[in-house]
Amino acid sequence: MGEHLARREPAIVSSSPPLEIERVFLLRGMPQLPAEHEVCSLEQGYLPESPETAAGSSEFLEGRIRRTTRSDGSTRCHHTIKRGGGIVREEIEREIECGEFERLWPRTEGRRISKVRHRVAEGDVIWEVDRFEGLPLVLAEVELKAVDQALQLPRWLEGWVIREVSEDPRYRNSAIAFGLGNHGPLPPLR
């Protein structure tokens, strides 16, 4: 059924702090997706890093804020902090009121991205294909339950993958947002 991808070496993953295990693939364009998939629009901005994080403070001094608008018009907002690099990273996320998102949004000026996300259930995983607005960039990502979980590309994705970029920090959303804010170069599409 699709191209079989090599297993990753097992890693010791503890239950605390919360971890995200994710593989990311650079695509040559937007593939033809199965009819049954979800679509949403994402606006996300990155807060400037600040050394003055106060213990017990509810003020967000780092991380990402995101507003997700689903095709039915419903909206949810989140604040997320990710740490680490590669396939396994610490991820702390909490839902916030959309009013809080609006209040924080100006602090992300120059560090923002917008994208349309397509979510496709395939076997026991959900593939997310992101088309970045205003950029010639399409990424597919999939969250896994374990680092050594076998992964197979779905048929609809075969032929679209240029290469895996899970370990390439240039393809992190934060790097793309910071590069755009500083008018830096886009990651090469090869």
Residue 78 lies in a domain: yes
Q: Mean per-residue pLDDT for 137-156?
A: 95
Residue 190's pLDDT band (cuts 50, 70, 90): low
Which token pair is 18?
Answer: 């919360």
> Residue 83 to residues 18, 88, 90, 128: CA-CA distances in angstroms?
11, 9, 5, 21
pLDDT digit string, tens, across residues 100-116: 999 999 999 999 999 99
The confidence score (pLDDT) of residue 103 equals: 96
Residue 158 lies in a domain: yes
Residue 14 lies in a domain: no
Residue 23 lies in a domain: no
The domain that holds 67 is classified in CATH as: 2.40.320.10
Query: Which structural domain, as residue segments, surrounds residue 80?
Result: 4-9+39-47+63-181
The confidence score (pLDDT) of residue 10 equals: 45
Residue 16 lies in a domain: no
Q: Determine the Cα–Cα distance for residues 5 and 120; give it in Å rounded to an integer.
A: 18
Residue 160's pLDDT band (cuts 50, 70, 90): very high
What average pLDDT is seen over the chain? Answer: 86
Q: Which positions are annotated as active-site residues?
A: 46
Domain count, the chain: 1
Q: Mean per-residue pLDDT for 64-79?
A: 97
pLDDT digit string, tens, across residues 84-102: 888 999 999 999 999 999 9
Phi-psi group of 86: left, alpha or beta (phi > 0 → left; psi -120 to 50 → alpha; rest → beta): left
Q: Mean per-residue pLDDT for 46-72?
A: 73
Residue 158 CB contacts under 8 Å (≥ 6 apart), including other chains = 2, 3
Residue 58 lies in a domain: no
Residue 188 lies in a domain: no
Q: What percent of the chain has pLDDT over 90?
A: 72
Asked if residue 45 has pLDDT above 70, the reply is yes
The confidence score (pLDDT) of residue 62 equals: 78
Asked if residue 77 has pLDDT above 80, the reply is yes
pLDDT digit string, tens, across residues 2-24: 555 544 444 444 456 799 999 99
Residue 90 lies in a domain: yes
